[in-house]
A and B are shown apart, each in its own frame.
Chain A
Amino acid sequence: MARLRIRGGVHPDERKLTSDITITRVPSPKRLYLPLKQHIGAPSVPDKVIGEIIHKGQVIARSQGNVSAHIHAPCSGYVEDIIDWAAAHPSGLPTRTMVLVNDGKELRDDVSVPVNPLFLRPEIIAERVGQAGIVGLGGATFPAAVKLTLGQSRNTPILIINGCECEPYLTCDDRLMQERTEDVVDGVRLLAQALYGPETIIAIEKNKPEAIRRMEEACKGFGNIRIMPVPTRYPMGSEKQLIEYVTGRQVPAGKLSADIGIMLHNVATAYAVNRAVRHGKPLTTRIVTVAGKVVKRPGNYEVPIGMLISELLDYCGLEEKPERILMGGPMMGQALPHADIPVTKGCNGILALSADEVKNSTEHPCIRCASCVDACPMGLSPLTMSSLLKKDKLDQAVAIGLKDCILCGSCSFACPSAIPLVHYFNYGKGEILNRAQQQQKDDEIKRLILDRQKRMARLEKEKEEMMAKRMEAIAKRKAAEKAAAEENKEKEVA
């Protein structure tokens, strides 16, 4: 049973000014920077050596371990270097990155594609999705093939396609559904096929009437796919909130949506699946919303993965130096320290904000108005948790639900005192991780110390035994010598 609205949430100014601008394809720049870790899980391993010639769409780094994804070349040319380059992360710390030089020839290898991929077995679809290096393109970047395999191994009767795009500014999914409707719907059908044909619901926020109309038209012929317009409220596009709204069921704390038989994929992922399975094209580009007041030509751009944000912003034009550059939306996006950072698979928006768009208000004491409690979609009490974290009372904060926080930022948005609530929860979650890592290290160190002590004791004992043996041998020899000498003496005497 669908509910009337989600619990909590906020309604920020939408500012979706780019929803009527057609997607523009950005040409590949001279150099592309491809980080080896653009997804959740283990980083990929380079499959090409420095100087090796590459064709467009070739695998340049392979996945390793259970949860990982391939990375493909978005251009033809050669591998120039494998270096440490600033990661798409608020710290801007370096990460292993492959640098490709684009020769502009767009050479690509022939690929074989199935005549009708809808006849493929589900495992084969998942395999092809994995070969194309597709990850969750809504921003979570969880490898899509791993998710599909997980859904196949359990009973998954419901597939939800997330077209909510609840973050302000961002319109990339909206434009995708408006312009490439057929491809998106085909991708949704392929995803459904990969999950043995579950009931499929495409959820789109009501502020995208054009996308809803076109998608409804495109889905008319398919009985098990239905479009569900959902209310415009942040964070509607969050996994747990959307599942609860659409199905009326809650994902239990600490569990996955797959545990209750529901799988969620983004519309951009569905589009990428269509490109990969029907056309044999791996994930080498993605649609990025470039917006913000200082951008001269804001809009949606199909950007090759690995293009530097500075180059992308040059292409779109800047009126002045931006006050802040965000990767993602204004609610959950990460502020980047500088623009020499590549666009990665999970980047759905680049916002270059002017000074008046960035709200820098001073923090005031909490007035206990409980606006944050009303805003929290998870039903937590942000004011209590933040005051506990201020005193580093981590255990108590965890006890009242710090681990359930989805870091959506609704509380910080709603707070009239401008308390950086979500920053406290980021800090608290980091501390939880730190503590687990430290515990692991402590246990390891203790094991090492015990092992060493045992080894030392054993060596000591062995040494003593050896000494005792040697002494015994010497004593025996001496006794024998003595006996022999005495015998000789006796003989002499005789």
Chain B
Amino acid sequence: MIEGIATLTLLGLTLGLFLALAAHYLRVEADPIVEDITAMLPGSNCGQCGFAGCGQAAEAMATGDAGLDICPPGGKSLIENLSERLGVDWDFANTTTTAPMIAYVQEATCIGCTRCFKACPTDAIVGAPKQMHSVINSACNGCRLCIEVCPTECLQMVDVKTTLENWRWYKPQPISQQALAA
């Protein structure tokens, strides 16, 4: 019995020592691409991509497990930056990103509970206890973190309003097949 205990202990110690040495000498440096992608992502850890945070999403993107269009707050410009950094030719034809949205407080139902502005990662919601809250449009990146904490559902995501300043010419529609046949 003593022999058995001695063998297993020795085996365990040797392998443990081997693993400790391997972990020290063969350590893999963090992938610089992941670091770069993390820097590009908004960093609000909103979780809309399905990952726990921006770091995990960056890892998935770097390995190719996730598409470049998983980040709704990043929008089109993020996809362009990512495709340039990763050297991927991204086809926008099947991109699933939606139009940018921002949070909006419905004034009638806001009870001033302050939960939303505690949750906001960009300090885009202003207000005080038992006072109506409001969203600063230019600081909201549409992470939806405030939507979940609102007890009265007075916070909603709305489309960014089209004004003369952000109106742009739409993209010309390509020729239809019918026109080609004619």
Taking Cβ atoms with an 8 Å cutoff, the residues of A that contact B are 37, 87, 89, 91, 93, 95, 362-365, 389-390, 392, 394-395, 420, 423-424, 426-427, 429-431, 433-435, 437-439, 441-442, 444-446, 448-452
Chain B contact residues: helix, strand, loop or mixed: loop
In addition to A420-B172, A437-B166, A451-B123, 12 A-B residue pairs with Cβ atoms within 8 Å of each other are A93-B163, A365-B175, A389-B171, A392-B92, A427-B169, A435-B76, A442-B78, A444-B139, A446-B43, A448-B139, A449-B42, A449-B44
Given contacts A365-B180, A437-B166, is CB(A427)–CB(B172) below 8 Å? yes
Roughly how many angstroms separate A414 CA and B50 CA in the complex, as a whole number?
Answer: 50
30 A-B pairs within 8 Å (CB atoms) are namely A37-B164, A89-B164, A91-B164, A91-B167, A93-B162, A93-B163, A93-B167, A362-B179, A363-B175, A365-B175, A365-B180, A389-B171, A392-B92, A395-B80, A426-B169, A430-B168, A433-B168, A434-B76, A438-B75, A441-B141, A442-B42, A442-B77, A442-B78, A445-B42, A445-B141, A448-B121, A448-B123, A449-B43, A451-B123, A452-B123
- Cβ of B63 < 8 Å from any Cβ of A? no
List residues of B (61-83) whose CB comes within 8 Å of A's CBs. Answer: 73-78, 80
Name A35's closest neighbour in chain B (CB-CB).
Answer: B164
Number of contact residues on B: which range applies?
A: 20 to 34
Check if A423 sits within 8 Å of B172, measured CB to CB.
yes
**Measured CA separation A229–B173 after assembly (Å):** 42
A438–B139 CB distance below 8 A: no
Per the bound structure, the CA–CA distance linking A442 and B71 in Å amounts to 13
Q: Taking each of A420, A433, A441, which has the highest tally of chain B beta carbons within 10 Å of its own beta carbon? A: A441
Report B138-165 CB contacts with A as 1/0, cut-off 8 Å: 1101000000000000000000001110
B164 touches A87 (CB 8 A): yes
Partner of A93, one of B43, B164, B170: B164
How many Å from the CB of A263 to the closest CB on chain B? 29
Interface residues of B (CB under 8 A from A): 42-44, 73-78, 80, 84, 92, 121-124, 138-139, 141, 162-164, 166-172, 174-175, 179-180, 182
Minimal beta-carbon separation of A259 from chain B (angstroms): 28
Complex-state Cα separation, A426 to B73, whole angstroms: 26
A-side contacts of B77, CB under 8 Å: 434-435, 438-439, 442
Note all chain A residues with C-beta closer than 8 A to B164: 37, 87, 89, 91, 93, 95
Closest-by-CB residue of B relative to A435 is: B77
Chain B residues near A37: list those with CB within 8 A. Answer: 164
B119 CB to closest chain A CB (Å) equals: 11
| Chain A residues in 8 Å Cβ range of B138 | 441, 444
